[in-house]
Amino acid sequence: MSNVRNVALDVLIDIEKKRAYSNLSLHHVIETNELSAQDVALLTELVYGTIQRRDTLDYYLQPFIKGKIEPWVHLLLRMSLYQMIYLDRIPDRAVLFEAVEIAKRRGHRGIASLVNGILRSVQRQGLRSLDDIKDESERLAIATSHPLWLVRRWIEQFGFDETKRMCEVNNFPPEQTARVNVMRATVEEVIDRLKEEGIEAIPSSVVPIGTKITKGNAAKTNVFREGLITIQDESSMLVAYALSPNETDVVLDCCAAPGGKTTHIAERMNNRGRVVALDIHDHKVKLIEQQAKRLGLSNIEAKQLDSRQAHTQFAAETFDRILVDAPCSGLGVIRRKPEIKYAKNEKDITQLANVQLNILRAVAPLLKRGGTLVYSTCTVDREENEQVIARFLAEHPEYDRDETLASRLPSSVASYVDRGMLQLLPHHVYSDGFFIATLKKKGEMT
Protein backbone atom coordinates (compact mmCIF):
# COMPACT_ATOMS: atom_id res chain seq x y z
CA MET A 1 0.00 0.00 0.00
CA SER A 2 2.75 2.46 0.96
CA ASN A 3 4.34 1.80 -2.42
CA VAL A 4 1.12 2.81 -4.17
CA ARG A 5 0.94 6.05 -2.17
CA ASN A 6 4.60 6.77 -2.95
CA VAL A 7 3.92 6.24 -6.65
CA ALA A 8 0.78 8.40 -6.44
CA LEU A 9 2.80 11.19 -4.84
CA ASP A 10 5.41 10.93 -7.62
CA VAL A 11 2.67 11.30 -10.22
CA LEU A 12 1.17 14.30 -8.41
CA ILE A 13 4.59 15.96 -8.21
CA ASP A 14 5.13 15.30 -11.92
CA ILE A 15 1.80 16.87 -12.84
CA GLU A 16 2.36 19.89 -10.58
CA LYS A 17 5.98 20.57 -11.61
CA LYS A 18 5.89 19.74 -15.31
CA ARG A 19 2.23 20.52 -15.97
CA ALA A 20 1.97 16.98 -17.30
CA TYR A 21 -1.41 15.50 -18.23
CA SER A 22 -2.75 13.22 -15.48
CA ASN A 23 -3.97 10.53 -17.87
CA LEU A 24 -0.58 10.31 -19.65
CA SER A 25 1.44 10.35 -16.40
CA LEU A 26 -0.76 7.67 -14.88
CA HIS A 27 -0.61 5.52 -18.01
CA HIS A 28 3.20 5.73 -18.04
CA VAL A 29 3.48 4.78 -14.37
CA ILE A 30 1.02 1.88 -14.69
CA GLU A 31 2.89 0.54 -17.74
CA THR A 32 6.31 0.77 -16.09
CA ASN A 33 5.46 -0.56 -12.60
CA GLU A 34 4.31 -4.01 -11.63
CA LEU A 35 1.04 -3.16 -9.95
CA SER A 36 -1.93 -5.39 -9.19
CA ALA A 37 -5.40 -4.43 -10.44
CA GLN A 38 -6.26 -3.38 -6.88
CA ASP A 39 -3.17 -1.14 -6.69
CA VAL A 40 -3.94 0.43 -10.08
CA ALA A 41 -7.47 1.24 -8.86
CA LEU A 42 -6.16 2.88 -5.65
CA LEU A 43 -3.40 4.75 -7.54
CA THR A 44 -5.93 6.13 -10.02
CA GLU A 45 -8.31 7.13 -7.23
CA LEU A 46 -5.57 8.92 -5.26
CA VAL A 47 -4.23 10.85 -8.24
CA TYR A 48 -7.54 11.88 -9.80
CA GLY A 49 -9.25 12.52 -6.48
CA THR A 50 -6.44 14.71 -5.10
CA ILE A 51 -6.35 16.81 -8.28
CA GLN A 52 -10.13 17.02 -8.63
CA ARG A 53 -10.56 18.24 -5.03
CA ARG A 54 -7.40 20.40 -4.86
CA ASP A 55 -9.00 23.71 -3.89
CA THR A 56 -11.49 22.12 -1.48
CA LEU A 57 -8.65 20.27 0.26
CA ASP A 58 -6.59 23.47 0.48
CA TYR A 59 -9.56 25.31 2.01
CA TYR A 60 -9.76 22.66 4.73
CA LEU A 61 -5.97 22.51 5.26
CA GLN A 62 -5.34 26.26 5.30
CA PRO A 63 -6.09 26.92 9.04
CA PHE A 64 -3.71 24.12 10.07
CA ILE A 65 -0.68 25.08 7.98
CA LYS A 66 1.48 27.72 9.66
CA GLY A 67 4.31 29.17 7.57
CA LYS A 68 5.81 27.88 4.34
CA ILE A 69 6.05 24.17 3.54
CA GLU A 70 7.75 22.38 0.67
CA PRO A 71 5.52 21.66 -2.37
CA TRP A 72 5.83 17.87 -2.04
CA VAL A 73 4.78 18.06 1.63
CA HIS A 74 1.73 20.10 0.60
CA LEU A 75 0.86 17.45 -1.99
CA LEU A 76 1.29 14.68 0.59
CA LEU A 77 -1.08 16.52 2.95
CA ARG A 78 -3.65 16.99 0.17
CA MET A 79 -3.45 13.32 -0.81
CA SER A 80 -3.76 12.18 2.81
CA LEU A 81 -6.67 14.49 3.60
CA TYR A 82 -8.41 13.33 0.41
CA GLN A 83 -8.35 9.77 1.75
CA MET A 84 -9.59 10.85 5.18
CA ILE A 85 -12.57 12.78 3.76
CA TYR A 86 -13.60 10.90 0.63
CA LEU A 87 -12.46 7.26 0.97
CA ASP A 88 -14.57 5.54 3.63
CA ARG A 89 -12.88 2.16 3.27
CA ILE A 90 -9.47 3.38 4.44
CA PRO A 91 -9.21 4.04 8.21
CA ASP A 92 -7.68 7.35 9.26
CA ARG A 93 -4.99 5.59 11.33
CA ALA A 94 -3.71 3.85 8.16
CA VAL A 95 -3.66 7.15 6.25
CA LEU A 96 -1.69 8.88 9.04
CA PHE A 97 0.77 6.02 9.40
CA GLU A 98 1.54 5.92 5.66
CA ALA A 99 1.80 9.71 5.42
CA VAL A 100 4.34 9.84 8.26
CA GLU A 101 6.38 6.97 6.76
CA ILE A 102 6.52 8.73 3.38
CA ALA A 103 7.50 12.01 5.07
CA LYS A 104 10.34 10.24 6.92
CA ARG A 105 11.67 8.58 3.75
CA ARG A 106 11.45 11.68 1.55
CA GLY A 107 12.39 14.26 4.18
CA HIS A 108 13.35 13.86 7.83
CA ARG A 109 11.80 13.34 11.26
CA GLY A 110 10.92 17.03 11.57
CA ILE A 111 8.78 16.92 8.40
CA ALA A 112 7.23 13.64 9.52
CA SER A 113 6.29 15.28 12.83
CA LEU A 114 4.81 18.29 10.99
CA VAL A 115 2.69 16.05 8.73
CA ASN A 116 1.55 13.99 11.70
CA GLY A 117 0.67 17.13 13.69
CA ILE A 118 -1.37 18.73 10.90
CA LEU A 119 -3.35 15.59 10.07
CA ARG A 120 -4.03 14.85 13.75
CA SER A 121 -5.20 18.44 14.29
CA VAL A 122 -7.62 18.11 11.36
CA GLN A 123 -8.85 14.84 12.84
CA ARG A 124 -9.29 16.40 16.28
CA GLN A 125 -10.76 19.80 15.37
CA GLY A 126 -12.76 18.79 12.27
CA LEU A 127 -13.20 20.62 8.97
CA ARG A 128 -14.32 24.22 8.77
CA SER A 129 -17.70 24.78 7.17
CA LEU A 130 -18.11 25.86 3.55
CA ASP A 131 -21.04 27.96 4.79
CA ASP A 132 -18.47 30.40 6.14
CA ILE A 133 -18.02 31.53 2.51
CA LYS A 134 -20.74 34.12 2.03
CA ASP A 135 -20.44 34.71 -1.74
CA GLU A 136 -22.35 31.87 -3.46
CA SER A 137 -20.11 31.82 -6.56
CA GLU A 138 -17.01 31.59 -4.39
CA ARG A 139 -18.63 28.91 -2.23
CA LEU A 140 -19.49 26.85 -5.32
CA ALA A 141 -15.94 27.31 -6.65
CA ILE A 142 -14.36 26.05 -3.41
CA ALA A 143 -16.94 23.29 -2.80
CA THR A 144 -16.41 21.81 -6.28
CA SER A 145 -12.79 22.90 -6.67
CA HIS A 146 -13.11 25.00 -9.82
CA PRO A 147 -11.38 28.36 -10.39
CA LEU A 148 -13.59 31.30 -9.41
CA TRP A 149 -13.18 33.03 -12.79
CA LEU A 150 -14.43 29.88 -14.54
CA VAL A 151 -17.43 29.46 -12.22
CA ARG A 152 -18.42 33.12 -12.69
CA ARG A 153 -17.99 32.79 -16.47
CA TRP A 154 -20.18 29.67 -16.62
CA ILE A 155 -22.83 31.25 -14.37
CA GLU A 156 -22.99 34.13 -16.85
CA GLN A 157 -23.26 31.68 -19.77
CA PHE A 158 -25.50 28.93 -18.31
CA GLY A 159 -26.99 30.21 -15.04
CA PHE A 160 -26.17 29.14 -11.46
CA ASP A 161 -28.07 25.83 -11.36
CA GLU A 162 -26.60 24.46 -14.62
CA THR A 163 -23.12 25.55 -13.53
CA LYS A 164 -23.53 23.85 -10.15
CA ARG A 165 -24.57 20.55 -11.75
CA MET A 166 -21.74 20.77 -14.29
CA CYS A 167 -19.12 21.47 -11.59
CA GLU A 168 -20.40 18.61 -9.42
CA VAL A 169 -20.42 16.10 -12.28
CA ASN A 170 -16.90 17.14 -13.25
CA ASN A 171 -15.72 15.46 -10.03
CA PHE A 172 -17.30 12.11 -10.94
CA PRO A 173 -14.99 9.48 -12.44
CA PRO A 174 -15.44 9.11 -16.24
CA GLU A 175 -16.92 5.92 -17.66
CA GLN A 176 -15.22 3.85 -20.34
CA THR A 177 -17.29 3.54 -23.50
CA ALA A 178 -16.48 1.91 -26.82
CA ARG A 179 -17.72 2.23 -30.39
CA VAL A 180 -18.52 -1.04 -32.13
CA ASN A 181 -17.12 -1.50 -35.63
CA VAL A 182 -20.44 -2.55 -37.15
CA MET A 183 -18.67 -3.57 -40.37
CA ARG A 184 -17.34 -6.54 -38.37
CA ALA A 185 -19.72 -7.24 -35.46
CA THR A 186 -22.94 -6.24 -33.74
CA VAL A 187 -23.13 -4.62 -30.31
CA GLU A 188 -24.52 -7.87 -28.86
CA GLU A 189 -21.70 -9.94 -30.38
CA VAL A 190 -19.09 -7.57 -28.95
CA ILE A 191 -20.65 -7.69 -25.47
CA ASP A 192 -20.59 -11.52 -25.60
CA ARG A 193 -16.97 -11.57 -26.79
CA LEU A 194 -15.92 -9.13 -24.06
CA LYS A 195 -17.62 -11.30 -21.45
CA GLU A 196 -15.48 -14.26 -22.58
CA GLU A 197 -12.44 -12.11 -21.71
CA GLY A 198 -13.78 -11.15 -18.27
CA ILE A 199 -15.01 -7.67 -19.29
CA GLU A 200 -18.55 -6.64 -18.42
CA ALA A 201 -20.36 -4.31 -20.80
CA ILE A 202 -23.88 -3.15 -21.60
CA PRO A 203 -25.36 -1.39 -24.66
CA SER A 204 -25.01 2.40 -24.61
CA SER A 205 -28.19 4.33 -23.85
CA VAL A 206 -26.84 7.31 -25.80
CA VAL A 207 -25.53 5.95 -29.12
CA PRO A 208 -26.89 2.79 -30.89
CA ILE A 209 -23.41 1.58 -31.89
CA GLY A 210 -21.91 2.21 -28.46
CA THR A 211 -21.27 0.04 -25.44
CA LYS A 212 -20.54 1.01 -21.86
CA ILE A 213 -17.82 -0.92 -20.03
CA THR A 214 -19.00 -1.60 -16.47
CA LYS A 215 -16.07 -3.75 -15.30
CA GLY A 216 -12.54 -4.19 -16.64
CA ASN A 217 -10.46 -2.44 -19.29
CA ALA A 218 -11.65 -3.14 -22.83
CA ALA A 219 -8.51 -1.58 -24.35
CA LYS A 220 -6.49 -4.62 -23.24
CA THR A 221 -8.66 -7.24 -24.96
CA ASN A 222 -8.47 -9.28 -28.15
CA VAL A 223 -11.80 -7.69 -29.10
CA PHE A 224 -9.96 -4.36 -29.29
CA ARG A 225 -6.83 -5.77 -30.97
CA GLU A 226 -8.96 -7.49 -33.63
CA GLY A 227 -10.59 -4.17 -34.55
CA LEU A 228 -14.10 -4.88 -33.30
CA ILE A 229 -14.19 -1.79 -31.06
CA THR A 230 -12.62 1.63 -30.58
CA ILE A 231 -12.44 3.27 -27.16
CA GLN A 232 -14.31 6.54 -27.60
CA ASP A 233 -16.61 8.75 -25.56
CA GLU A 234 -20.27 8.66 -26.57
CA SER A 235 -20.46 12.39 -27.30
CA SER A 236 -17.45 12.08 -29.61
CA MET A 237 -19.31 9.33 -31.52
CA LEU A 238 -22.06 11.83 -32.35
CA VAL A 239 -19.81 13.73 -34.75
CA ALA A 240 -19.99 11.07 -37.48
CA TYR A 241 -23.78 11.02 -37.09
CA ALA A 242 -23.83 14.80 -37.61
CA LEU A 243 -21.60 14.52 -40.70
CA SER A 244 -23.58 11.50 -42.05
CA PRO A 245 -21.35 10.76 -45.06
CA ASN A 246 -22.41 8.74 -48.12
CA GLU A 247 -20.36 5.83 -49.46
CA THR A 248 -19.26 7.81 -52.54
CA ASP A 249 -18.24 10.99 -50.70
CA VAL A 250 -14.83 12.62 -50.52
CA VAL A 251 -14.48 13.80 -46.90
CA LEU A 252 -11.89 16.10 -45.33
CA ASP A 253 -11.18 15.58 -41.61
CA CYS A 254 -9.09 18.48 -40.26
CA CYS A 255 -7.09 18.13 -36.99
CA ALA A 256 -7.79 14.39 -37.20
CA ALA A 257 -5.38 12.67 -34.76
CA PRO A 258 -5.54 10.29 -33.02
CA GLY A 259 -8.21 9.22 -35.52
CA GLY A 260 -11.26 8.21 -33.46
CA LYS A 261 -13.66 10.33 -35.48
CA THR A 262 -11.79 9.67 -38.76
CA THR A 263 -12.18 5.92 -38.44
CA HIS A 264 -15.81 6.27 -37.40
CA ILE A 265 -16.51 8.32 -40.54
CA ALA A 266 -14.72 5.69 -42.65
CA GLU A 267 -16.74 2.90 -41.00
CA ARG A 268 -20.01 4.72 -41.72
CA MET A 269 -18.90 4.87 -45.39
CA ASN A 270 -18.48 1.05 -45.31
CA ASN A 271 -14.81 1.46 -46.23
CA ARG A 272 -15.76 3.13 -49.52
CA GLY A 273 -15.31 6.67 -50.82
CA ARG A 274 -12.30 8.61 -49.51
CA VAL A 275 -11.46 10.21 -46.19
CA VAL A 276 -8.54 12.66 -46.17
CA ALA A 277 -7.30 13.03 -42.59
CA LEU A 278 -4.97 15.94 -41.80
CA ASP A 279 -2.94 16.59 -38.68
CA ILE A 280 -0.26 19.15 -38.02
CA HIS A 281 1.99 16.64 -36.17
CA ASP A 282 3.79 13.94 -38.16
CA HIS A 283 3.97 11.45 -35.26
CA LYS A 284 0.21 11.76 -34.76
CA VAL A 285 -0.45 10.95 -38.42
CA LYS A 286 1.05 7.54 -37.66
CA LEU A 287 -1.56 7.04 -34.92
CA ILE A 288 -4.33 7.54 -37.50
CA GLU A 289 -2.68 5.02 -39.83
CA GLN A 290 -2.33 2.48 -36.99
CA GLN A 291 -6.00 2.80 -36.07
CA ALA A 292 -7.11 2.46 -39.71
CA LYS A 293 -5.00 -0.71 -40.08
CA ARG A 294 -6.35 -2.20 -36.83
CA LEU A 295 -9.94 -1.59 -37.94
CA GLY A 296 -9.38 -2.90 -41.49
CA LEU A 297 -10.08 0.46 -43.16
CA SER A 298 -8.44 1.27 -46.50
CA ASN A 299 -10.42 4.40 -47.47
CA ILE A 300 -8.40 6.72 -45.20
CA GLU A 301 -5.55 8.85 -46.52
CA ALA A 302 -3.64 10.42 -43.60
CA LYS A 303 -1.41 13.44 -44.25
CA GLN A 304 0.80 15.69 -42.15
CA LEU A 305 -0.49 19.20 -42.87
CA ASP A 306 -1.69 22.24 -40.95
CA SER A 307 -5.33 22.42 -42.02
CA ARG A 308 -4.95 26.19 -42.38
CA GLN A 309 -2.69 25.33 -45.36
CA ALA A 310 -5.10 22.81 -46.90
CA HIS A 311 -5.78 25.16 -49.83
CA THR A 312 -2.17 24.63 -51.00
CA GLN A 313 -2.87 20.92 -51.55
CA PHE A 314 -6.53 20.79 -52.57
CA ALA A 315 -8.54 22.75 -55.16
CA ALA A 316 -11.63 24.74 -54.25
CA GLU A 317 -14.82 22.67 -53.93
CA THR A 318 -12.98 19.33 -53.68
CA PHE A 319 -14.88 17.86 -50.73
CA ASP A 320 -18.48 16.73 -50.23
CA ARG A 321 -18.18 17.02 -46.46
CA ILE A 322 -15.67 18.60 -44.10
CA LEU A 323 -15.13 18.02 -40.39
CA VAL A 324 -13.30 20.65 -38.32
CA ASP A 325 -12.73 19.02 -34.94
CA ALA A 326 -10.95 22.10 -33.67
CA PRO A 327 -8.23 22.42 -31.02
CA CYS A 328 -9.96 23.80 -27.91
CA SER A 329 -9.62 24.48 -24.19
CA GLY A 330 -10.94 20.99 -23.33
CA LEU A 331 -13.25 22.36 -20.63
CA GLY A 332 -15.75 19.60 -21.47
CA VAL A 333 -13.35 16.80 -20.52
CA ILE A 334 -12.42 17.92 -16.99
CA ARG A 335 -13.51 14.52 -15.65
CA ARG A 336 -10.76 12.86 -17.71
CA LYS A 337 -8.12 15.59 -17.27
CA PRO A 338 -8.96 17.43 -14.04
CA GLU A 339 -5.79 19.54 -14.16
CA ILE A 340 -7.22 21.38 -17.19
CA LYS A 341 -9.48 23.48 -14.98
CA TYR A 342 -6.48 24.97 -13.17
CA ALA A 343 -4.26 25.37 -16.25
CA LYS A 344 -6.55 27.38 -18.55
CA ASN A 345 -7.43 31.06 -18.36
CA GLU A 346 -9.68 33.48 -20.23
CA LYS A 347 -6.84 34.65 -22.47
CA ASP A 348 -6.30 31.03 -23.65
CA ILE A 349 -9.97 30.80 -24.59
CA THR A 350 -9.85 33.96 -26.70
CA GLN A 351 -6.66 32.83 -28.44
CA LEU A 352 -8.16 29.41 -29.20
CA ALA A 353 -11.34 30.98 -30.57
CA ASN A 354 -9.22 32.92 -33.08
CA VAL A 355 -7.37 29.73 -34.12
CA GLN A 356 -10.68 27.91 -34.52
CA LEU A 357 -12.10 30.69 -36.70
CA ASN A 358 -8.94 30.75 -38.85
CA ILE A 359 -9.25 27.01 -39.52
CA LEU A 360 -12.87 27.42 -40.57
CA ARG A 361 -11.94 30.34 -42.83
CA ALA A 362 -9.15 28.31 -44.45
CA VAL A 363 -11.20 25.23 -45.29
CA ALA A 364 -14.49 26.95 -46.19
CA PRO A 365 -13.62 27.31 -49.93
CA LEU A 366 -12.75 23.60 -50.18
CA LEU A 367 -16.35 22.44 -49.64
CA LYS A 368 -18.58 21.80 -52.65
CA ARG A 369 -21.78 23.80 -53.02
CA GLY A 370 -24.54 21.91 -51.22
CA GLY A 371 -21.95 20.23 -48.99
CA THR A 372 -21.97 19.87 -45.19
CA LEU A 373 -19.40 21.34 -42.80
CA VAL A 374 -19.34 20.06 -39.21
CA TYR A 375 -17.53 22.02 -36.49
CA SER A 376 -16.94 20.28 -33.16
CA THR A 377 -15.05 20.88 -29.90
CA CYS A 378 -14.77 19.15 -26.53
CA THR A 379 -15.41 22.36 -24.64
CA VAL A 380 -18.54 23.98 -23.24
CA ASP A 381 -17.39 27.59 -23.52
CA ARG A 382 -19.61 29.74 -25.72
CA GLU A 383 -16.74 31.93 -26.95
CA GLU A 384 -15.20 28.83 -28.58
CA ASN A 385 -18.52 27.42 -29.76
CA GLU A 386 -21.58 29.53 -30.60
CA GLN A 387 -19.56 32.74 -30.93
CA VAL A 388 -17.06 31.18 -33.38
CA ILE A 389 -19.96 29.94 -35.53
CA ALA A 390 -21.67 33.34 -35.38
CA ARG A 391 -18.46 35.11 -36.46
CA PHE A 392 -17.89 32.60 -39.28
CA LEU A 393 -21.45 32.95 -40.62
CA ALA A 394 -21.22 36.76 -40.49
CA GLU A 395 -18.14 36.58 -42.74
CA HIS A 396 -19.42 33.79 -45.02
CA PRO A 397 -22.89 34.51 -46.44
CA GLU A 398 -22.50 31.44 -48.71
CA TYR A 399 -23.01 29.27 -45.57
CA ASP A 400 -26.19 28.63 -43.57
CA ARG A 401 -26.97 26.75 -40.38
CA ASP A 402 -28.14 23.21 -41.08
CA GLU A 403 -31.43 22.99 -39.21
CA THR A 404 -31.77 19.24 -39.96
CA LEU A 405 -29.02 18.22 -37.50
CA ALA A 406 -31.45 16.79 -34.89
CA SER A 407 -32.90 14.34 -37.45
CA ARG A 408 -29.48 12.70 -37.91
CA LEU A 409 -28.65 12.32 -34.22
CA PRO A 410 -29.80 9.59 -31.80
CA SER A 411 -33.05 10.47 -30.00
CA SER A 412 -31.17 10.55 -26.66
CA VAL A 413 -29.55 13.89 -27.56
CA ALA A 414 -31.82 15.36 -30.25
CA SER A 415 -33.67 17.54 -27.74
CA TYR A 416 -30.44 19.41 -26.93
CA VAL A 417 -30.09 20.70 -30.53
CA ASP A 418 -30.80 24.37 -31.11
CA ARG A 419 -30.46 26.17 -34.49
CA GLY A 420 -28.24 23.48 -36.02
CA MET A 421 -26.01 23.28 -32.93
CA LEU A 422 -25.72 20.67 -30.19
CA GLN A 423 -24.24 21.66 -26.83
CA LEU A 424 -23.97 18.72 -24.47
CA LEU A 425 -22.99 19.61 -20.91
CA PRO A 426 -21.33 16.83 -18.87
CA HIS A 427 -24.46 16.17 -16.80
CA HIS A 428 -26.90 15.92 -19.74
CA VAL A 429 -26.15 12.29 -20.64
CA TYR A 430 -23.05 11.86 -18.40
CA SER A 431 -20.70 11.98 -21.36
CA ASP A 432 -17.95 14.49 -22.12
CA GLY A 433 -19.11 18.08 -22.55
CA PHE A 434 -19.21 18.52 -26.31
CA PHE A 435 -20.27 20.96 -29.03
CA ILE A 436 -21.30 20.18 -32.61
CA ALA A 437 -22.49 22.69 -35.23
CA THR A 438 -23.50 21.77 -38.76
CA LEU A 439 -23.44 24.24 -41.65
CA LYS A 440 -24.54 23.90 -45.28
CA LYS A 441 -22.88 25.60 -48.23
CA LYS A 442 -25.57 27.17 -50.37
CA GLY A 443 -26.22 25.88 -53.89
CA GLU A 444 -26.70 22.55 -55.62
CA MET A 445 -23.97 19.93 -55.41
CA THR A 446 -22.46 19.21 -58.84
> CA-CA distance, 100 to 95, in Å (whole number)?
9
151 and 167 in contact (C-beta within 8 Å)?
Answer: yes
Band of residue 446 on the pLDDT scale cut at 50, 70, 90: low
**% pLDDT > 70, the chain:** 99
Report, as an integer, the average pLDDT of 398-403.
97
Neighbours of 298 (CB within 10 A): 10
* Percent of the chain scoring above 90 in pLDDT: 89
What are the pLDDT digits (tens) for 374-394? 999 999 999 999 999 999 999
Please work out, in degrees rounded to the nearest 5, the angle formed at the alpha carbon of residue 304 by the alpha carbons of 301 and 307. Answer: 95
Global pTM reads: 0.93
Please, what's the b/e burial string for 211-249 (b: 16 or more CB within 10 A of its CB; e: otherwise)? Answer: bbbeebebeebebbeebbbbebbbbbbbbbbbbbbeeeb
pLDDT exceeds 90 at position 227: yes
Q: Which residues are catalytic?
A: 378
Residue 243 has pLDDT above 50, yes or no: yes
Residue-averaged pLDDT of the chain: 95
Which of the four pLDDT bands, split at 50, 70 and 90, describes residue 260?
very high
Q: What integer pLDDT is reported at residue 18 of this predicted model?
A: 82
Q: Comparing C-alpha atoms, which of 326, 259, 241 is closest to residue 299?
A: 259
Angle, nearest 10°, between helix axes 109-125 and 54-61?
Answer: 90
pLDDT at residue 1 tops 50? no
pLDDT of residue 231 exceeding 70: yes
Q: How far apart are CA 297 and CA 287, in angstroms?
A: 14
User: To the nearest 10°, the Cα dihedral for 352, 356, 359, 364?
Assistant: -160
Instruction: Please report the pLDDT score of residue 444 as a whole number.
Output: 80
* Predicted local distance difference test score (pLDDT) of residue 328: 97
- The predicted-structure confidence for 159-214, as pLDDT tens digits, reads as follows 999 999 999 999 998 899 999 999 999 999 999 999 999 999 999 999 999 999 99
Give residue 330's pLDDT.
96
Res. 9: pLDDT tops 50: yes
- Nearest residue to 420 via CA among 433, 409, 405, 410: 405
State the first-to-last Cα distance of the chain, in angstroms, to the nearest integer: 66
Is a pLDDT exceeding 80 seen at residue 2? no
What is the tens place of the pLDDT at every residue in 83-93?
Answer: 999 999 899 99
Q: Give the mean pLDDT of 332-337.
A: 95
